[in-house]
Amino acid sequence: MILKITLWKQLKSLFSLLFITSLYIGGLVYAEIPLEKRAVLIFSLPYLAIFFIPVVIIHLNYYINGTGIIYKIDESGITKTVNNKEEFISIADIKEITFFMMPNRLLNSAIRSLPFEDYYYAQILTTDKKVIFISCLFSTKIDKILEVNFKELNIKKLKAIYPLITA
């Protein structure tokens, strides 16, 4: 399976934020909030602090750490292509895979209350201490893809309230 970041995959990741934004703006219009500077500021700050800013920070973090990279994943290993340079990591060279995800995603809960709950990433540690990060911007089902292809590896899932890639 070939994975790369595309505009469509980014929009799928941002869907919750776009949906909540339209509901929030619709609610403000329906409530007939006056468009004074103070009222707009009062009603915009909670939205920005709870919904918009966290999603933008995580999305940019994943985009910066994944732009220009193409992964090819199959049962023999992972091929990482950066600037037309390929690096193959065989399954024997992969020490462990760790997923960092929100508790709701970890429990496969259908209930989501915050738009950044769908963001998560996999950290792949190799035997020679290299670390590879594959985020949900590559695929929203990266956990299933890696679990199916690498059944015999040590795969851990950890709770992360705000899953940022720290390289």
The values of phi and psi at residue 64, to 5°, are: -65, -40
- Read off the pLDDT of each residue in 62-69 and give the average, rounded to a whole number: 94
- For residue 36, CA distances in Å to 19, 33, 44, 46, 48 come to 25, 9, 12, 17, 18
Number of compact structural domains in the chain: 1
Mind listing the pLDDT tens digit for each residue in 99-147? 999 888 777 766 667 778 889 999 999 999 999 999 999 998 999 999 9
- State how far the Cα of 57 lies from the Cα of 114, in Å rounded to an integer: 14
Q: Which domain holds residue 90?
A: 1-167
With cut-offs at 50, 70 and 90, classify the pLDDT of residue 66: very high
